[in-house]
Amino acid sequence: MLSLIVFLHAAVQAGTPLLFATIGEIVTEKVGNLNLGVEGLMLMGAVGGFMAGYHSGSPLVAIIVAALTAMIGGWIYAFLTVTLRANQVVTGLAITILGTGISGFLGQSLVGEVLPKSFTNVFKPLSIPILNKIPFFGHVFFNQNLFVYLGFIAAILLTVYYKYTRLGLNAKAVGENPYAADANGIDVSRYKYAHILLGSALCGLGGAYLSLVYIPAWQENVTAGRGWIAVALVIFSMWHPSRAILGAFVFGGLDIVGFRLQELNISISQYLIDMLPYLVTILVLIFNSVRKDFVAGPKALSVSYFREER
Amino acid sequence: MNEKVVELKGITKVFGTVRASDNITVSFNYGEVHSLLGENGAGKSTLMNILCGIYQPDSGEIIIRGERAIVRSPRDAISHGVGMIHQHLKLVEDHTVLENMIAGQKGSFFIRKSKLEAEIRALCDHYDIQVDPNTKIKDLSIAEKQRVEILKVLYRGARILILDEPTAVLTPQETQNLFKIIKKMREDNCTILIITHKLDEVLEISDRITVLRKGKYIDTLINENLEPRTLTDKMVGKSTNLEIVREEVKPGDNILEVSKIVVYNHENAHALFDVSFSVKKGEILGVAGVAGSGQKELCEAIAGLQRVTEGSIRFNGEDLVGKTPRKIIDMGISMSFVPEDRLGMGLVSSMDITDNVLLKEYNRQHGVFLSRKEAKKQALDLVDKLSIDTPSVDTAVRLLSGGNIQKVLLGREIETQPELIITAYPVRGLDVGSAHKVYDLLNVQKQKGVGVIFVGEDLDVLRAFCDRIMVLCNGKVTGIVDADKVSREDLGYMMAGRHMDEVMADV
């Protein structure tokens, strides 16, 4: 029982970068833009955050720079797909390659470097009074670091945003039917830009969690494919930010299950373990497509919008 | 109150080489219903899209309530009180009526649902429209969706409403309902601009009528003692014979017998249920129904493109159910399908006429390599015979006008000498001249003893052109009637779901 709690506690931590990236991609897809550049954006956030943290020593500056670095990537994506109406899939893949290159290049001299002590202090586990007394779940969810809580809060705020606010409703309308949204007086381009940038910033934070908290040292290609899992997780959570919480932690668990099995002296090839999240993704896709109430996502996803189209 | 609310001055808009709107000057008054009449490509929609901010004019100015207005987007148009109800309704299917109405509206940060609901209900009551604000759009009928769209525009405070072909998807009864709402809006001193090409409706509802032709302004007439003839002459530009001919042909044996077929759509609901009918040689069977009543599935089921779960489709006595199009061809069955979606299913839009002919022709050639010579000859033949207006047979078909595209498609199909032709909305989007060319082509085939299934939307055309009309409603047959013995209204009732026996018993 105790080891299960420890395992789940670790799964939440491993799931947090996935959570940020997933809700980031949800925000992007909700306005009708499929951004396959999540992996690249995470890496840009990771390297930007690490460099800023390494040189300034301030966790706050690191987080802000991480978000801003990823937003540069997001802006390039938005400019290409919204303003120039380029193919979203190709653009997204380009962003992934670009982000991987940038993080490798900038991180070259930082490999193996460790962040100052201030980081481990700020991101040490903080118990939330009362809630941490809940049996079993108390430790799993409410004895975590600040970054993890930030993820919860972001997901919940987004849920409220889409369900109860006018801005959220307008954003959804843009992703469902930009022609209708435009006819309603919604500025389609502005909504797309704003949400793509917000989504990118969230992806960047996901990457920063890895380089600032999870492994507080720089290593190349620190995301190791998590960006791709996030793209799949968007479908798993059926475009609901609140469901992304569950999905991210399940996949976080799959991510670390290999280590735990080693500890229990069960030997399974690491390669097979590494396949697990993707295998589950395939199963989820199959499961999703046979469901009656199958949600295919925003109707205008990955379709460029041009008002004067005839 | 006979004052101008909108003046359009010298509006010009060019798309590529087409002058869609050529120096048009026209004005609209407070509290009037004003119809814009013209054939396809006359520039009605272009002009209205400019007024509501979808298109930017290349030159010209818009004056609203005496002041020069700059309308760069639908948002600007709304702020000037101009709202458009588009032919393809601009609603988010997955959202509720309420969500659609408030999207893009300014207001409190959080959505105050109960307050907004009350506002919407009050508006509904005023116009005597029944709709629940919490239903999702996708659960509404087309007529209901259109009413929501009108409500939406009114809710935004529009005083000038533009309706683009509002009756195209409605039954005659639903049209009357719409006219009631329009009259109510006129009482409230709104200006209603209707884009249409249906003459009888124009004469019924309009105060004034503006005729456009090929992007040019022709005339504005006051609707008093107007003859339809006057309008059509202005629309077409010359005196025309608009009579549709029904060739009297003595029908032969049944070429097609459809018996109790059932087809499911992708949502596992009935697309067709218990549909039975027959088509004779030398007969044109019309198919009427509100859009989406199962017409598409019916055509595709016969052509072998839809899975038929129950029943039989016999062509000259041979059952086609469960056979692929290829198998049907191999059985020696000669049938042509001219689908609604001309450039999607019918032709490959980016290929030229020759290659499109080749797509059907290649099958008759032997060996590994194809000869384009034969196809090119056929293509040249088609262009010549049907007077297709194209620079050459090497021109991509998507660059042709709607009428010429249809001629290519229909011509190619007829070349294969079918015994049965299935056509879905063959004259949709065609101008009067091209439409008549299509009727002529089909009439020639009819005289040759070919059976024709003609899915149409214009009830007057169906009544004048077909021998019998089958009416579909929600995938069921509500009646099969003789075309010369049925009235528009009766067809309308059947389209709305009442069975032919009931409808006829009322008379």
What's the domain range around A187? 2-309
- Residue-level pLDDT at A235: 87
- Residue-level pLDDT at B1: 44
Q: Is residue B111 less than 8 Å (CB to CB) from chain A? A: yes
Look at residue B354 and give its three-state secondary structure. Answer: helix
* Cβ separation A184–B84 shorter than 8 A: no
- Residue-level pLDDT at A64: 97
Which of A165, A184, A308 has its CB closest to that of B109? Answer: A165
Look at residue B263 and give its three-state secondary structure. Answer: strand
Question: Are the folds of B4-236 and B254-334+418-506 the same?
Answer: yes
Percent of chain A scoring above 90 in pLDDT: 65
Give me the interface pTM, i.e. the ipTM. Answer: 0.86
- Residue-level pLDDT at B101: 93
Residue A307: is its pLDDT beyond 90?
A: no
- Residue-level pLDDT at B350: 86
Q: What string of DSSP letters covers B291-322?
A: TTSSHHHHHHHHHT-S---EEEEEETTEE-TT
Show residues of chain A in contact with B92, CB under 8 Å.
172-173, 176-177, 180-181
Taking the domain B4-236, which CATH number applies?
3.40.50.300
Tell me the two tokens of residue A222.
Answer: 């620190």
* Cβ separation B92–A187 shorter than 8 A: no
- Residue-level pLDDT at B397: 86
Show residues of chain A in contact with B75, CB under 8 Å.
185-187
Top-ranked range on mean pLDDT: pick from A79-88, A296-305, B434-443: A79-88
Q: Is residue A238 less than 8 Å (CB to CB) from chain B? A: no
The mean pLDDT of chain A is 91
* Cβ separation B105–A180 shorter than 8 A: no
Which of A165, A173, A308 has its CB closest to that of B110? Answer: A165
Decide if B135 contacts B57 (C-beta within 8 A).
no
Show residues of chain B in contact with A177, CB under 8 Å.
90-93
- Residue-level pLDDT at A310: 42
Show residues of chain B in contact with A172, CB under 8 Å.
92, 95
- Residue-level pLDDT at A308: 66
* Cβ separation A308–B54 shorter than 8 A: yes
* Cβ separation A173–B108 shorter than 8 A: no
- Residues A175-197 have pLDDT tens digits of 999 999 998 889 999 999 999 99
Show residues of chain B in contact with A187, CB under 8 Å.
73, 75
The pLDDT of A93-112, averaged and rounded, is 95
* Cβ separation A184–B104 shorter than 8 A: yes
Kind and range of the H or E run holding B480: strand B476-482
- Residues A110-126 have pLDDT tens digits of 998 999 988 988 998 88
Which of B55, B94, B104 has its CB closest to that of A176? Answer: B94
* Cβ separation B102–A166 shorter than 8 A: yes
User: Which one of B92, B94, B99 would you mutate to disrupt binding with A, by most A Cβ within 10 Å of its Cβ?
Assistant: B92
Q: Is residue B109 less than 8 Å (CB to CB) from chain A? A: yes
Residue A296: is its pLDDT beyond 80?
A: no
Could you say which residues of chain B have pLDDT below 50?
A: 1
Decide if B424 contacts B444 (C-beta within 8 A).
no
| Angle between helices B488-495 and B172-187 in degrees, nearest 10 | 100
**With 0-12 CB in 10 A as exposed, 13-18 as middle and 19+ as buried, what is B451?**
buried
CATH top class, domain B254-334+418-506: alpha beta
The pLDDT of A153-160, averaged and rounded, is 97
The pLDDT of A132-149, averaged and rounded, is 90
- Residues B336-369 have pLDDT tens digits of 999 888 887 888 888 898 888 888 877 777 778 8
Which of B84, B94, B104 has its CB closest to that of A181? Answer: B104
* Cβ separation A181–B103 shorter than 8 A: yes
Output the domain CATH number for residue A297: 1.10.3470
**With 0-12 CB in 10 A as exposed, 13-18 as middle and 19+ as buried, what is A269?**
exposed
- Residue-level pLDDT at A293: 66
User: Which one of A159, A161, A163, A166 would you mutate to disrupt binding with B, by most B Cβ within 10 Å of its Cβ?
Assistant: A166
* Cβ separation A299–B93 shorter than 8 A: yes
Q: Nearest-CA distance from B142 to chain A in Å?
A: 16
Residue A289: is its pLDDT beyond 70?
A: yes
Q: Nearest-CA distance from A76 to chain B in Å?
A: 26
How many domains would you assign to chain A? 1
- Residue-level pLDDT at A159: 97
Query: Residue B153's closest CA among B201, B116, B103?
Result: B103
Query: Residue A222's closest CA among A232, A208, A203?
Result: A208
Show residues of chain A in contact with B55, CB under 8 Å.
308
Q: When comparing pLDDT for A20 and A2, which is higher?
A: A20
The pLDDT of A1-10, averaged and rounded, is 86
Q: Is residue B137 less than 8 Å (CB to CB) from chain A? A: no
- Phi, psi angle pair for A74, to nearest 5°: -65, -35
Give the residue extent of every domain in chain B.
4-236, 254-334+418-506, 349-417
